[in-house]
Amino acid sequence: MIALRYKAPYDWEAILGFLRPRAFAGVEVVSADAYEREGVRVTHDPGRNAVIVSDPSKAEHVRAMFDVDADIIAIEKRFARDPMLGPLVRAHRGIRVPGTWDPFEMAIRAMVGQQISVAGATTIMARIASRHGITPESLMRARTNPGMPQIRWDSIRGLARAVARGEVTFERGATLDDSIARLTALPGIGPWTAHYVAMRALRESDAFPHGDLVLRKAAGMISDRELLARAEAWRPYRAYATMLLWRSLA
């Protein structure tokens, strides 16, 4: 067991609340107070300002996934005087950007979730995992469509093939623009999906999936252009602004 220390505050309930509806059967479980996967249990010790990992060998996985190293003081200071985010950052102290256990899996999840509900995407991911597994090698050979538009399924299999062959890796670019350009060059990944993957899998703190309808709703149903303009003041932490806006509707 190992304790991963963080700078307080830390909104543990928010990160579990985000992961819970996205956890798919047979792979991961999010209970009222813990995340579990591959025999690893992740819990919270607020008294020690720490995320607790049952298996020390998975500490770096958890450190990234639970955004342990976020400079929350700088982030909240950045947002404190913003007319839109100021009230939210005071209401939801310690926001984090949930990462992922596996970047390839995160990319598949983002592609599956295009234009469908979180619940619908979770159901399809569970179906993929049970029928085919969720490794690049298993998915590149998969044939049976698990219930999505065929072109999207073909794109997923194409990505799996490229990753399995070493043609694609999930690494951060030199800049956010470089990371987004690498992702959008892949079939089936548009700007929203690229920013979502960059935010969660590449740990790009300024990624901003601004085409998201729920995000626009949380911002008061302003236009996408207006939201982008407002978000200039939130750099370089637009991913955290995204989580705050989503959190405000939870």
> The domain that contains 195 carries what CATH number?
1.10.340.30
Hey, is 58 helix, strand or coil? helix
pLDDT of residue 250: 76
Cis peptide before 87 (omega within 30 of 0): no
Asked whether residue 226 is domain-assigned, the answer is no
The answer on 57 and 127 residing in a single domain is: no
pLDDT of residue 59: 96
Cα 224–chain centre separation: 21
Q: Which residue has tokens 């999010």?
A: 30
Say yes or no to pLDDT of 107 above 90. Answer: yes
The answer on 191 and 107 residing in a single domain is: yes
Domains: count for the chain: 2
Find the mean pLDDT for residues 202-210: 95
Structural domain for 20, as ranges: 2-69
pLDDT band, residue 103 (cuts 50/70/90) = very high
Hey, is 11 helix, strand or coil? coil
The answer on 113 and 57 residing in a single domain is: no
pLDDT band, residue 111 (cuts 50/70/90) = very high
Find the mean pLDDT for residues 140-167: 92
Cα 225–chain centre separation: 23
pTM to 2 decimal places? 0.93
**HEC-encoded secondary structure of 119-134:** HHHHHHHHHHHHHCCC
Find the mean pLDDT for residues 139-165: 92
Say yes or no to pLDDT of 168 above 90. Answer: no
pLDDT of residue 212: 87
Find the mean pLDDT for residues 89-99: 96
Q: What's the Cα-to-Cα distance from 160 to each of 82, 137, 163, 167, 203, rounded to whole Å?
A: 41, 7, 5, 10, 21
pLDDT of residue 54: 98
CATH number at residue 24: 3.30.310.20
